[in-house]
Structures are given as C-alpha cells and as structure tokens.
C-alpha cells in the first residue's frame, strides 16, 4: 500500500481514528448471519428496540403524569417490530388504510389507534369510526366527510385537530393540518363545536423531522397548551391529550451536518424536559391536565437496525480514487440519500485506511451509499455493516433491479429469527398480466 | 509485465518514498516496500506474484488484484516511467 504524505491541516476530526470492526450484533457473529441468511441482510436488534422505548418512557413519564407512545407504523411496519413496541405498551399511529389494517392485525385495539395523515378515504374513515379510533383531522374536506359519516353511521367520531405552527425551525411544516398563527386551527375547532356531532379529544402537531433542537418542542408544546386553554375558555371543552408528534433525531449524521450525529443528537431527556416544562407552565384547569401522546419513530428504531453487505469488487477511479462496490445500494438504503451512514468492516483488518467511495450494486449512477468514507483495504467477499438503518429503510425500500432481502431479528434471549423472507421471482411477477 | 520505477525515486528503510522531481513524499507499508524494491530491481509483475505467493499464504488471484491496484497507484502518483 502506498499513501501520499500531506503536511496539511488536520480535518475537523483530527487524524484518522481507529474504527473497531463490528464482528457481532448482540453477540451473534456477523459472518454467521451472512452465511445463514445471505447478503444483503437487514438485522434488527430486539434488545435495542426495547431499550430505546423503555428509556423514552422513563424520560417522559418521570416528568408528566400521563404519557402514551403510539408506534409510528410508517417508520417501520414489520410486524415483529410493531409487536415489540405494542408489548411495551405503545399504541399504533397510522397514516393509511393499509397501515390501519396492519395495526388491527397486530392486535391493537381500535381505540388505541391514532389515524393521521392527509389521505384518509371514506372506507378508511368508516373503519376507523366503527373501531372508535382517534382520527386526527388534516383538512376541511375530511372534517365534512366525518360529519356525513357520523350521521350515516350514527356514531360520534373521536377526533383531534392536526395543527401546524411555527416553532422556530425551518422549514415550517405547514402542509399538514390547520395553521395556528393565522387562525385556521381555531376555525376548524369552531366548526367541530358548531356541528356538535363529534368529540374533540385532542390537539396534534408535528413540527418537522430530525429536529436537532429540543427547544423547538418547548415552543410547540407551549403554543399547543395555550391553544388548548383557549379552547377550554371559548367552548368549555378541555382536550384530553396533546399529541406532540415525532421528529426526534436519531444518531445518524445528516449529509449537511458538520458534526457527527451521535455527538449532537439531543437525548430523550432533553426533549422530555422541554415539553414537560411547557406543559407544567400552562394554565390547565384543575383535573384537566392533558395526557401527552408521542409518535416518535426514528429515534426509537434507527439504531436497532443494521444492514450487512458483501464487497463485490474494488476499482480505481480515473483520478486514482478508491471505489468499493457492495451488494446493498440505495434501493435498500433510501436514507443514504440524506445520511452519511456509519460503516464498519465486519472482520479484522490492518491499520491502513483509504478514503473510499462506497457504491451499491445497481447499474445506476445514483447508487452511492457514501461519497467519501475512510475504510481499510477490503477484499471481494468481505463484509460491511451499515449502522442506524432501522428507520424508514424497511418501509421505503424499493424492489428495483434486484429483489428485497431477508430481515432477521436478534431476540432478547440471543436467538435469531427470520422476520421477513427475501422476495422471490414469483413474488414480483405473479402480479403482472399479459 | 515490467514496471519501470523512475530511477531517481528515493526509498528509505522505513518505507518513506521521495520524488525529487515533484517534491512529493509517500509512505509504504512493509509489503508495499518489498514490492516496490522488487519492481525497482526489474522483476516483472508475474515474477513478483510468484515470489510473494511462494512466501505467504495468499492466493495468486487475491494477490494479483492487490498488486494491480498497487501498480495503478504508482502510476497515478507518477512514480513510474510509463505514467
């Protein structure tokens, strides 16, 4: 190996740090997993999932009297993952009829399903009404449809109003729900009250995604708490819960971030402190302190997911840069479009590292998992572990060029079980017609 | 294949390489130093593969891949006459 010696300023992280190889996940050898299930292979750590939700519950429930977590299905709706969260007491938060049916099939009681999102159709709403689910109204058309359905089905919809507001973060998410500052949210509540056919149970906001400032949640919580107090004063209705949505950051590193994600990600206690502080300062009436509902997904599941991939080949660019091609690409790692995922070799290696561009296997130029990552010299067949892939990849992955791979869960007791089989040729082609 | 290392390239015992034409310096690991010396002494790449695979537990395929990469980098850094 030959390396140029450059007497330049060190980078922000100083000299290259030694990266420990990742030989096992929760005590199970990475190589044995690859041999048994093939690569690429997603691995979910049940231990880490449960550790995360328990820590989050502790952070919030030690500060507030009633806290409910609703598992964000879109973040990862593998049944094995959902059921682990439900076993830990989480409700379900869904954003489509498909996710709603999944929650029901996972045994979640209808009244423990929070139905969010901008695209609930009539059939979805009928189902949610029959099951007394909590429907978070996104727009006026949905509100009017609920009024119609309440009459037709002779039931009282249990609803919350999705509110968007300025919490000091950019971009302001004003696409979903009704704006607080310009009065849309109050208008929506007024309509609900004047129709008189549904129960306003809660208020909901979701200020954005991957929010690295915990203080933004304090601002949002204060605004929603004040809004709840206004509703109590104007209409005599005390909402039972305030849903602060999700958006808590995980330990991944955003591409635009100067610092490593794990170093700047607020802790659950940071988020909890801001929200709880705002709640405690709000002038809620006696006995009317609302429950806090949370739909955080990414922060609870991202670091429980790993992707094992095999090196296919190494190449040199026209300029001499090192290219490594592995068998997992952006078809499986949607999040590699916005994260610099941490990559670890899964075998011992020498101390010689080289800046490498890490490509996936697709015959597409966009298939770049890392533009630049310092890796040891790797041989064909060597294994790499991609970290923090538990959120969104196993739902946003694409069946594109190749088939989607196995997913295994390493159980709390150390056992390994297949939780989603790799797709086969027939799984894709049987839906086609000539 | 013969790889001609430029005659004025200096190599120290510790693997420090200096190119007096450009002022650039490089570091070689012990295996890199050994291969560099073999190439400089006129051994062909095929002969280098034979010498190394006879001495170390490495397949000819695996070592050839690494040697090709090493030679490509020597060319890239303009340490050979063919570059």
| pLDDT tens, position by position, B51-81 | 999 999 999 998 999 999 999 899 989 899 8
Question: Measured between CA atoms, how close is A8 to chain B, in angstroms?
Answer: 13
| A125-155 tens-digit pLDDT | 999 999 999 999 999 999 999 999 999 999 9
Q: Which residue in the set A5, A350, A379 is minimally distant from B25, CB to CB?
A: A5
Give the model's pLDDT for residue A292: 98
Residues of B near A (CB-CB distance < 8 A)? Answer: 17, 24-29, 31-32, 36, 62, 65-66, 69-70, 72-74, 76-77
Average pLDDT over residues B2-6: 90
Chain A, 317 to 376: residues with Cβ < 8 Å from chain B are 319-320, 350, 352
Asked if A256 has any chain B CB less than 8 Å from its own CB, the reply is no
Q: CA of B75, closest CA in chain A: separation in Å?
A: 9
Nearest Cβ partner for A1 among B24, B32, B76: B32
Q: Do A2 and B62 make contact, defined as CB atoms within 8 angstroms?
A: no
Q: What distance in Å separates the CA atoms of residue B43 and residue B48, rounded to the nearest whole number? A: 6
Angle separating helix axes A184-195 and A214-235, nearest 10 degrees: 40
What residues of chain A score a pLDDT lower than 50? none
> Which ranges of B22-77 does DSSP label H, i.e. alpha helix?
30-40, 45-55, 60-76
Helix (H) or strand (E) holding A98: helix A97-105
Q: Give pLDDT, residue B83.
A: 45
Sequence ranges of the domains in chain A? 24-44+303-424, 116-296
ipTM: 0.82
Considering chain A, what is the average pLDDT of its residues? Answer: 95
What share of chain B has pLDDT > 70, as a percent? 98
Task: Give Cα separations from A126 to A105, A144, A194, A402 (angstroms).
Answer: 17, 13, 22, 38
Q: Do B77 and A314 count as a contact with CB atoms less than 8 A apart?
A: no
Q: How far is B46 from chain A (nearest CA, A)?
A: 18
Long-range contacts of A283-289 (CB under 8 A, 24+ apart): A283/A229, A284/A225, A284/A228, A284/A229, A284/A232, A284/A238, A285/A232, A285/A238, A288/A232, A288/A238, A289/A65, A289/A66
A1 interface with B at CB cutoff 8 Å: yes
Assigned token pair, A383 = 């294994």
What percent helix, strand, coil does chain B show, rounded to 5? 45, 15, 40
In this predicted structure, what is the pLDDT of residue A172? 84
CATH 3.20.20.10 fits A116-296, yes or no: yes
Mean pLDDT estimate for chain B? 91
Calculate what percentage of chain B has a pLDDT beyond 90: 71
Residue-range domain boundaries for chain B: 10-76
Chain B: closest CA distance from residue A34 (Å)? 21
Look at A5 and B77 and tell me if their CB atoms are within 8 Å.
no
CATH architecture observed for domain A24-44+303-424 = Beta Barrel (2.40)
pTM of the model: 0.91
A16 shares contact with chain B (CB less than 8 Å) = no
pLDDT of residue A352: 80
């Amino acid at each position: 190996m030959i390396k140029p010696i450059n007497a330049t300023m060190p980078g922000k992280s100083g000299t290259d740090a030694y990266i420990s190889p990742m030989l096992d996940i929760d005590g199970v050898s990475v190589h044995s997993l690859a041999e048994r299930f093939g690569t690429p292979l997603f691995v979910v750590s049940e231990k880490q999932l449960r550790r995360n939700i328990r820590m989050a519950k502790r952070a919030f429930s030690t500060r507030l009297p009633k806290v409910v977590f609703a598992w964000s299905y879109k973040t990862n709706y593998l049944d094995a993952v959902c059921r682990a969260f439900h076993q830990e007491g989480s409700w379900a938060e869904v954003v489509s009829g498909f996710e709603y049916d999944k929650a029901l099939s996972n045994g979640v009681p209808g009244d423990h399903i929070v139905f969010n999102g901008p695209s609930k159709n009539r059939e979805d709403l009928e189902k949610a009404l029959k099951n007394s689910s909590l429907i978070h109204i996104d727009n006026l058309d949905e509100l009017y449809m609920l009024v119609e359905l309440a009459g037709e089905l002779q039931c009282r919809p249990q609803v919350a109003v999705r509110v968007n507001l300025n919490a000091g973060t950019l971009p302001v998410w004003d696409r979903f729900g009704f704006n607080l500052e310009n009065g849309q949210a109050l208008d929506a509540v007024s309509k609900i009250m004047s129709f008189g056919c549904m129960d306003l149970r809660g208020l909901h906001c979701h200020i954005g995604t991957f929010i690295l400032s915990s203080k933004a949640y304090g601002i949002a919580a204060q605004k929603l708490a004040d809004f709840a107090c206004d509703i109590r004063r104007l209409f005599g209705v005390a909402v039972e819960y305030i849903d602060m949505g999700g958006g808590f950051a995980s330990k991944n590193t955003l591409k635009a971030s100067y610092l490593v994600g794990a170093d700047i990600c607020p802790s659950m206690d940071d988020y909890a402190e801001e929200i709880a502080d705002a709640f405690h300062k709000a002038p809620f009436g006696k006995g009317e302190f609302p429950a806090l509902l949370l739909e955080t997904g990414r922060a609870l599941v991202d670091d429980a997911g790993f992707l094992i991939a095999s090196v296919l080949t190494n190449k040199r660019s026209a300029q001499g840069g090192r290219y490594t091609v592995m068998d997992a690409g952006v078809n499986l790692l949607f999040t590699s479009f916005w994260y610099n995922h941490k990559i670890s070799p899964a075998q011992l290696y020498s101390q010689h590292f080289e800046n490498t561009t890490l490509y996936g296997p697709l015959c597409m130029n966009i298939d770049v998992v890392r533009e630049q990552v310092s890796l040891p010299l790797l041989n064909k067949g060597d294994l790499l572990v991609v970290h923090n892939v538990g959120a969104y990849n196993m739902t946003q992955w694409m069946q594109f060029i190749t088939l989607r791979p196995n997913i295994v869960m390493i159980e709390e007791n150390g056992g390994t079980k297949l939780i989603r089989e790799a797709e086969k040729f027939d799984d894709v082609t049987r839906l086609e017609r000539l | 294949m013969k790889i001609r290392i430029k005659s004025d390239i200096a190599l120290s015992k510790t693997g420090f390489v200096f190119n007096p034409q450009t002022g650039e310096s490089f570091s070689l690991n012990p295996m890199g130093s050994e291969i560099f010396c073999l190439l400089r002494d006129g051994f062909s790449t095929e002969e280098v593969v034979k010498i190394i695979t006879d001495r170390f537990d490495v397949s000819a395929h695996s070592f050839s891949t690494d040697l090709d990469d090493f030679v490509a980098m020597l060319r890239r850094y303009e340490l050979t006459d063919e570059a």
